[in-house]
Amino acid sequence: MADTVKNVLFLCTGNTARSILAEALIDHWGQGRFKGYSAGSYPKGTVNPLAIELLSQFGMPTRDMRSKSWDEFAAPGAPVMDFVFTVCDQAAGEQCPIWPGHPITAHWGVPDPAAAEGSHAMRMLAFREAFSKLERRIKLFVELRAALDSKTMQAKVDHIGHLDDRSAGKGS
């Protein structure tokens, strides 16, 4: 997507799990072509320890991960976003700030792994499932061609957000 690094913001309500995973995944799979950010409408202030544990298992950096408000990215001087994706249904229904630069937006809803109950293994399974769904979508996203016009790009990112697990690996 051109020669410049594209900024991608992932939004969720608490910014503790899904958006954190997505931020790490876009940095990993974007291979320097994308810079990931995450934020929440009502950030909890801490990242879920299972998100950190899972990212560490995959060798992804976690040191700078923090739960933060989406207001940081709507403020003057904030990085201008090229793409903004909501990853939870609640954040998708909320009134978002006006993003500088008019980024392409889409909803990529994923069930909340932080809501999982049970043993550590059962909760970690929910995190792995969320991670896998986000990873499939992000892999498809980073393969989109830079030359796409904004209308076509919007249709492509919307389509990625509606893929189910069976069709996610079959292209866009």
Sign (positive or negative) of CA dihedral 158, 145, 166, 18: negative
| 14 is an active site residue | no
Distances (CA, A) of 45 to 37, 67, 68, 78: 15, 5, 6, 19
Q: Report yes or no: 164 and 132 within 8 Å, Cβ to Cβ.
A: no
Considering 8, 11, 12, 130, which one is annotated as catalytic?
12
119 Rama sector, left if φ>0, alpha if ψ -120 to 50, beta otherwise: beta
Identify the DSSP state of 97.
Answer: P
Q: One of 22, 81, 88, 104 is an active-site residue; which one?
A: 88
Q: Any catalytic annotation for residue 96? A: yes
Tokens matching residue 156: 């492509």
Q: Which of 60, 96, 148, 168 is catalytic?
A: 96
- Residue 123 annotated among the catalytic residues of the structure: no
Cα 40–171–163 angle (5° rounding)?
45
93 residue type, one letter: G
Q: Which residues carry out catalysis?
A: 12, 88, 96
